[in-house]
Structure 1
Amino acid sequence: MFKSYLKVAARNIARYKYFSLINAFGLALGMSVSLLLISFYSYVSSFDDYHTRKESIYRIISTMEKGGDKEDLASAPSSLATSMQHETAGIEEIVRINASFRGDVVSDKVNIPIRQGYYVDSSFFAVFDFEMIQGNPQVALSKPNSIVLIESVAKKIEASGDLLGKAIEIDGLGTFEVTGVIKDPKRTHLWFEALVSFSTLPAEVRGEVSNQEQWTSYNDQYIYLLAENSSDKDKIQQSLNRIASDVYSQSKDAHVTFKLQALGDITPGPDLENSIGPDTDYTLIVVFGTICLLILLPACFNYGNMSIARSLKRAKEIGLRKTMGGGKTQIFLQFIIEAIAITMISLVGAVILFILIRPEFENMMPGTWLDLNLTWEMIGMFVLFAVAAGFLAGVFPALLFAGLNPIQALKSQPNAGGFSRMRVRKVLVIFQFALSFCFIVLMIVLGRQYRYNLNFDFGFNTENILDVELQGTNPTSFQSEFSRLPSVQDISMSSGILGSSYSSTQVRALAGGDSIKVYELFVDHKYIDNMGLQLLAGRNFPNVPVQTERYIVVNEEFLRVWQITNPIDALGKTFLVEGKELEVIGVLKNFHFAPLQIPIKSFFLRTDPSQFTYANIKVASPDIHATLTSMEKTWSMLNNTRKFEAHFFDDEMEEMNKFYWALLKMIGFLGLIAISISLLGLLGMVIYTTETRTKEVGIRKVFGASETGILYLLSKDFLTLMAWAIGFAIPVSFLLFDNLLSEIQYYRVSLNGWDILIGLAVFSLFGVATIASQTWKAAGANPIDTLRYE
């Protein structure tokens, strides 16, 4: 029976070649994006599967309430591990990780950067199964200043990769003995290039000398444990609750709770701050899945629409089958198998499209961890998905045809069994058109947002400012040498880059009360003038050597938070910051110290030369290339082990907007697919309509109907559907896109009438051109030829 179904399906696909081609191509487009989702989910859900005892490995996560804010964190204080070792039963191994290790391997031959390394306990390899190809995992991290490298880094340092027992120099951190080399970790949320023994850290950083600050400031600290039995989870959680209650019961600054998270729940998992490794939370999966569904459904609707439209031509076949004893189930299966056969053909095209768009998708994701190469497991999932898509595409036509009355079917007067075929088809077409219109408008709005960001006034000077990474170079020596260059107008120092990098701290009034989170940047006395920041009251930092930090310069938002009405009233007020009493000596007009994704918040400038990591050089030169060459020569005299790293401020601002460029490309691609699917569906329906009304057109022309009249007659129903779709999509666009943009960025453009009008023009152009491509030909045909048509 199944073989018979396949034969009939093959004959029908071959008989209706044009419609089969439209269906197959549309489904291939719709399925290609879903293949990306399947491969992505398959990849990230397999993270950490290779660890032998993965079911017993947990991470401790935390929720912190501090300064009125509440944050869910992937990190936990190292001091907690010390307390648990003494108080908690049921733990076989516990591993502390400090993710702050990074630096450059320096020697006469090489200068290899280690972008991410972890300080870890010696029990790391007892918990996690990373394959060691050189060294003994049991003792590799047992001594201070021991380091384990991944294979690719080891080969960069030494071509053979044979470094076991050798000493390497990490710039600024000292000498380390290579005690092991492991294969590059793959499919793991623990992305690293080097592991360093935890005992290398000072005791207070390891959390072995407990103080309150360690329990409230632990951004780079993580704790993993191996439970003796899965049943011990509840006992361990109770211990965590007890420790948190004891530690934070008297704290005024923060309240923290701890929770166990299974290794398998990390990726994908909940959205946590301070995530270690690739950040793949469920929100990303849900959003991506919704987009895939919105792309796939129209392709399935197209199949259903055209199948229903051809019902008259297949009505006699169905009536004859039923008269000869064919049951509803058999008719249903016949049409489902036809739909699945089409999707299996479409799968070939979808896989080709998937291979073409995969590199661009991988590049859109931050980092270089994503690798969606085809595997047999993935291909099997693709086939299952194609079967499911075929069932989805064919289920409605199959139900419709299975329910036909055989007598009416033989008379070519099928009854939909209570369903209004035309009404359902119109709803499906309107949905497709509305979706296409929304994508067109979204591309227009995101394009405006991209231009808006490029031209945004951040409130400080960005022109001709060159930011140079100090990389451990003495700021005073740097300023002394670089100020001699004729192209250098001025130099200031800072701990970060305005508009992109910043840190935060807790501030409290001397009179007491709750601490408030304030964002900060460390600068020197030249920074305010160099960056063109505007003082509303007070003065700049004094031009004297800083022995002890004494002053801060705040922004207007800082005054609002502390309920200070006039800028001049803030001068002289003293606040407690990290145990220091700091006096407000100046008030700055608000400026955007952070990316445009977040609003302006309470912020101040501090001065501490030990925090300086960037030099901000104001450049005046007609020949930038010559200027940079002379700067590189000067740099080599100050630091011959590090590469000169410098970027113009305007270029850094543009780099931050690459997110929108990537988003534009992604939305553009998805929009192109959605529009193509809708136009294919429209093309198929127009072709079918013109074919079924060929004789009618001939008769009308014989009786004197004009080409314009015929054109209107064949087009009006489709134009009406387009109008309905636009009427539905416009309010949805206003409601959806304003909320969407507010989630992406605080400072944003708003959807306006011009966006709608431009979108309407583009949408109408595509739709009318598609309709006219067939109706014009039918309207201009010779009535002698059309009257002969069968």
Structure 2
Amino acid sequence: MIKNYLKIAFRNLRNQKGYAFINISGLAVGLACCILIMIYVTHELSYDKHHEYSDRIYRVVSKIDFSGNYLELATAPAPMGPTLKQDFPEVEAVTRFRPIGSRIVKRGDMNIKEDGLVLADPSVFRVFTIPMQYGDPETALEKPNTVVITDKIAQKYFGKLDAVGERIIILDEFEFEVTGVIEEMPSTSHFHFNFMLSMSTTEEAENNSWFSNNFRTYVLLKPGVDAERFEENFETIKKQYVEPQLKSFMGISLDEFEAAGNSAEYALQPLTSIHLYSDLTGEFEPNGSITYVYIFSGLAVFVLLLACINFMNLATARSSVRAREVGIRKTLGSARSQLTVQFLSETVLLSILAMFVALFLVELSLPYFSNLSGTDIRSGYLNEPTIMAGLFAVVLITGLFAGSYPAVMLSSLKPSRVLKGVFSEQWRHIFMRKGLVVFQFSISIVIIVGLLVINKQLNFIQSKELGFSKDQIIIVEDAYTLGSSYAVDALKEEMLKDPIFKSATISSFFPVQGYSKNDLVHWPKGEEPTQNNTVSMQTWTVDEDYIPTLGMELVAGRNFDEERGTEEQTVILNESAVKRFKFEDPVGESIVSYGFDHNGNIDNSQVREYRIIGVVKDFHYESLRRNIEPLGLFYGKSSGNVAFAIGASNSREAIEKLEAWWNEKAPDRPFNYSFMDQQFEQMYRSEQRVQNLMTAFSLIALFIACLGLFGLSAHSVNRRTKEIGIRKVMGATVPNVLALISGEFLKLVVISFLISIPISYFAATRWLNDFTYRTNIGVDIFLLTGLGAILIALLTVSGQSVKAALMNPADSLRSE
């Protein structure tokens, strides 16, 4: 019986090639989108699950509320890790990371700037499952000046994988011994690195300050330990270790500190939740978002629904053609159940054929999709049982769902009526079909509104007044590798002789991603530090050309002046810092802070005083998701990076001059540069990726919706052929007929638009709430979307409308 059903189904598809093509292509596009999103979601949900003990690994995070500054940090104090391992038997192992950014790496004639360098405790291999190809994971990082590298780095510098025992120069001429070679971290890891340097190499390993939150600390709990109950131990840690340093620093107890509205809280964050649920200050890398996983999962369902609805509409649009077939089959003895199975077998067969086409489309589009989504997704998805099981389930459900309504409707026809040529649809069938089109366009409009809101927010970010100029700024990086501050000054002075360079500044601090940030506590001179007068603020070392080069605005006081010779003890605050210090007239006031000893611990004997000489207008030095926090610009000479302001059309020429000078003065050092506006854009990579994906899926959803509208218009013209003929005989003109057909569908689009407005407004508002500074949604977005939907609908049905309007009444009446 099944074989017979399949033979009939194949014959019907062969005899109706146009119908089969439209249905298979529509379902294939829908399934391809669904498969791509399934791959993406599976990839996002699999982060950090490759570690053997991933269910027992937690990151220690900090939540600090101090003097009005609230910070949620992915870091913890330096002594947190050793304290947890020493004091609590529930802890099996602890390890810490201290990222150190980019450094020049040397070996022989090779002199390359490398990214992904971290300091790590020896216990890193006890906590994390990091396959080591060569070396002993138990001892690899025990000694100072040892390093573990990835297999890619080993091949790059040594031409072989077994590089254990080889030596390489890192960290300003320090020689390191390679003690291990590991595999590269998989793409589904929330951290990646190329070099792991032993923590004992630097003095930071001995840092015992509980106010220095610089370490990414990970805890492996013993089996059966409840993480929530274990978190109660942090209160003990605060009392035993934090309070003594608090009393030494501010002269108050922990209770007094918290009574003033301040707090320092620590918590355990599950390793497998970091990628999708964490956006803290100090993350290893930009994380994903569970919100976007939900959004794209919803898109997959909606796009597939659109494809199914298309199939249902196209099938019912052909019901009058299949009605006579049903009547004959029933007359010959076919039961209703047999007819239902027959029609369902056709739709399941269509779905299976569409699946193979969809897999072909996925293979073609996978590299493009990986680039759009910013994920490293390869074609090995067919080996994933979850994806394949989900795919076959989706195909089967799609076939049954898409074919259920046409099968039930057609199998219920009475043979006595359809064989006489009497076939009219019941109002509920017509209502359901129109309702499906409304549903299609409602979804499409919501998606398009979401896309327009994302575009508007990104444009708002790009055009918002930031308080500094990011355009036409070239940053020559790692200028310190020139060997001395004199050489760096020479670079700056030599370039400024050329008129294409307008100005230049030397600093390690710039208001874009990828440059140094630091926090220190200050308070007004003449007062003892208390919870009421201390301000935690960014402290950036800059020169006298920093403010003019970056186009910042002084709202009070003056800029630094090297000729005065006393600027090292001066500071320029931003407006937020002035408000936090509660200075009415800040120029001339002084602030102080404690210094640090060689281990990075607070040293009360060192008190540094700075006189305020100016106030700079607030500028955004972090993402627009965050508020502008207090910041101080401190005068000092630096050799980190040199930023040049250039003319709008001089980029290529400026780069050539800089590179030529560099290669002449430091031929053995790599020349690295970047544009500040490009660095700024890196802060919004996730939004840009979502924008790209939304654009692609919006176009696909709109295409599928238009296919559905085309199917319904074809069905409507077919059903109203006789009516149109009579109207034309009675004097109706071509415009009358066009208005009749098109008006029917315009009403559906208008209804869809009205339904979609509150839904899209709510969703867009929720997304924008993640930004501290955000655009208004505005009526223009909805008007633009509504007019666009109406225009697209008119274009979609125009072919059928014109065909019906130009039809000869004699032919249409004879056909009936």
TM-score, normalised via structure 1 length: 0.85
Q: Which amino acid aligns with 2:113?
A: P
The answer to whether 1:710 aligns with 2:737 is yes
1:786 pairs with 2:812 = yes
| Cα 1:395/1:246, change in 2 over 3 Å | farther
Aligned position for 2:152: 152
Partners of 1:183 and 1:756 lie apart in 2 by: 51
CA distance change for structure 1 residues 296 and 628 in 2, over 3 Å: closer, same or farther?
same
**Superposition pairs for residues 154-553 of structure 1, below 5 Å?**
154-172=154-172, 174-186=174-186, 187-202=188-203, 205-206=204-205, 208=206, 210-214=208-212, 217-218=213-214, 220-225=215-220, 227=222, 229-231=223-225, 237=231, 239-240=233-234, 242-244=236-238, 246-248=240-242, 250-251=253-254, 252=257, 255-276=263-284, 279-310=287-318, 326=335, 337-365=345-373, 370-378=376-384, 381-382=387-388, 384-388=390-394, 390-392=396-398, 394-395=400-401, 398=404, 402=408, 406=412, 411=417, 420-444=428-452, 446-447=454-455, 452-461=460-469, 465-472=473-480, 473=482, 474-485=484-495, 486-487=497-498, 488-500=501-513, 503-510=517-524, 511=527, 512-514=530-532, 515-543=534-562, 550-553=569-572
CA distance in 2, matches of 1:234, 1:623: 58
Candidates 576, 583, 589, aligned match of 1:572: 589
- Name the CA shift for 1:784/1:531 in 2 (closer, same or farther; >3 Å): same
Residue ranges of structure 2 left out of the alignment (5+ in a row): 244-252, 596-606
Looking at structure 2, the residues matched to 652 and 529 of structure 1 have their Cα atoms a distance apart, in angstroms, of: 20
1:607 to 626, 635, 638: 635
- Deviation of the 1:333 alpha carbon: 5.8
Give the letter for the 2:190 counterpart.
H
Residue 681 (structure 1) shift: 0.4
Distance (whole Å) between structure 1 residues aligned to residue 730 and residue 647 of structure 2: 81
Measure the CA separation in 2 of the matches of 1:196 and 1:678.
56
Tell me, yes or no, if the aligned pair for 2:314 and 2:712 is still in contact at 8 Å. yes
Answer whether contact 1:127 1:226 (CA < 8 A) is retained. no
Pairing partner for 1:589 from 617, 624, 629: 617
2:59 corresponds in structure 1 to 60
Aligned to 2:249: none
Of 664, 674, 684, which residue of structure 1 is paired with 2:711? 684
Contact 1:738/1:751, CA 8 A, preserved across alignment = no
Distance 1:353 1:116 in 2: 36
SS at match of 1:708: helix
- Give the drift of 1:178: 1.0
Letter in 2 for 1:375: Y
Q: What is the CA–CA distance in structure 1 between the aligned matches of 2:109 and 2:772, rounded to whole Å?
A: 46
Conservation of the 8 A alpha-carbon contact between 1:112 and 1:156: no
- Note closer, same or farther for the CA distance 1:377–1:645 as it changes in structure 2 (3 Å cut): same
1:617 corresponds, among 644, 662, 680, to: 644
Structure 1 pair 17–405 and aligned structure 2 pair: CA distance change class (3 A): closer
- Comparing 661-670 and 683-692, the one that deviates more: 661-670
Q: Which residue of 1 aligns with 2:791?
A: 765
Contact 1:553–1:587 (8 Å) recurs in 2: yes
CA contact (8 A) 1:6 1:338 kept: yes
Q: Distance in 2 between matches of 1:592 and 1:641?
A: 37
Counterpart contact for 2:275–2:288, Cα < 8 Å: yes
Q: Point out the more displaced range, 585-594 or 258-267.
A: 258-267
Residue 174 of structure 1, CA deviation: 0.7
| Cα deviations by residue, 1:576-603 (Å, 9 ceiling, x for unpaired) | 4776443322122333444444454433
* Amino acid in the other structure paired with 2:550: M
Instruction: Encode CA deviations 1:692-741: one digit per residue, 9 max, x unaligned.
Output: 33344344444544333333333321122122223334555555445544
Which whole-Å CA distance do the structure 1 matches of 2:722 and 2:207 have between them? 93
> Structure 1's 482 and 396: CA in aligned 2 closer, same or farther, altered over 3 A?
closer
Corresponding letter in the other structure for 2:393: V
Supply the AA of the counterpart residue of 1:686. Answer: S
Change (3 A) 1:327 1:586: same
RMSD value, Cα: 3.9
In structure 1, runs of 5+ residues without a counterpart are none
Distance 1:621 1:402 in 2: 67
Deviates more, 1:686-695 or 1:258-267: 258-267
| Contact in 1 for aligned 2:231/2:267 (Cα 8 Å) | yes
What is the one-letter code of the residue matched to 1:609? Answer: K
Deviation of 1:435 after TM superposition, in Å, equals 3.3
Matches within 5 A, 1:651-690: 662-690=689-717
Q: Distance in 1 between matches of 2:63 and 2:629?
A: 20
Corresponding residue number in structure 2 for 1:631: 658
**Structure 1's 351 and 735: CA in aligned 2 closer, same or farther, altered over 3 A?**
same
| 1:142–1:551 CA distance, 2 compared to 1 (3 A) | same
Counterpart amino acid of residue 480 in structure 1: A
Aligned length: 774
Change (3 A) 1:522 1:290: farther
Q: Quick one: distance in 2 between partners of 1:25 and 1:193? A: 45
Superposed displacement of residue 114, structure 1: 3.0
Change (3 A) 1:470 1:435: same
Q: Which residue of 1 aligns with 2:773?
A: 746
Code of the residue aligned with 1:780 in structure 2: it is L
Distance 1:232 1:601, change over 3 A: closer
Query: How far off is 1:768 after superposition?
Result: 1.0
Q: 1:723 corresponds to which residue?
A: 750
Distance 1:631 1:177 in 2: 34
Deviations 1:597-653 (A, max 9, x none): 44544333223435x532233447986655443332432455444322234545655
- Secondary structure of the 1:483 match is helix
Distance 1:476 1:2 in 2: 86
State how far apart, in whole Å, the 2-side matches of 1:159 and 1:92 are. Answer: 38
One-letter amino acid matched to 2:553? Q
The answer to whether the 8 Å contact 2:105/2:170 transfers is yes
Letter of the 1:606 counterpart:
F
**Counterpart amino acid of 1:673?**
I
- Distance in 1 separating the partners of 2:692 and 2:2: 44
Change (3 A) 1:362 1:575: farther
Query: Does the Cα contact within 8 Å between 2:555 and 2:617 map onto a contact in 1?
Result: yes
Distance change >3 Å, CA 306–CA 463, structure 1 → 2: closer
Cα separation, partners in 2 of 1:477 and 1:281, compared to 1, 3 Å: same
- The one-letter code sitting in structure 1 at the alignment partner of 2:578 is L
CA contact (8 A) 1:271 1:282 kept: no
Query: Structure 1 vs Structure 2: percent identity of aligned residues?
Result: 25
Equivalent of 1:558, from 577, 588, 595? 577
SS at match of 1:122: coil
- Give the secondary-structure state (helix, strand or coil) at the position aligned to 1:163: coil
What are the superposed Cα offsets for residues 350-374 of structure 1, whole Å, 9 maximum, x if unpaired?
A: 33333333323322445xx623323
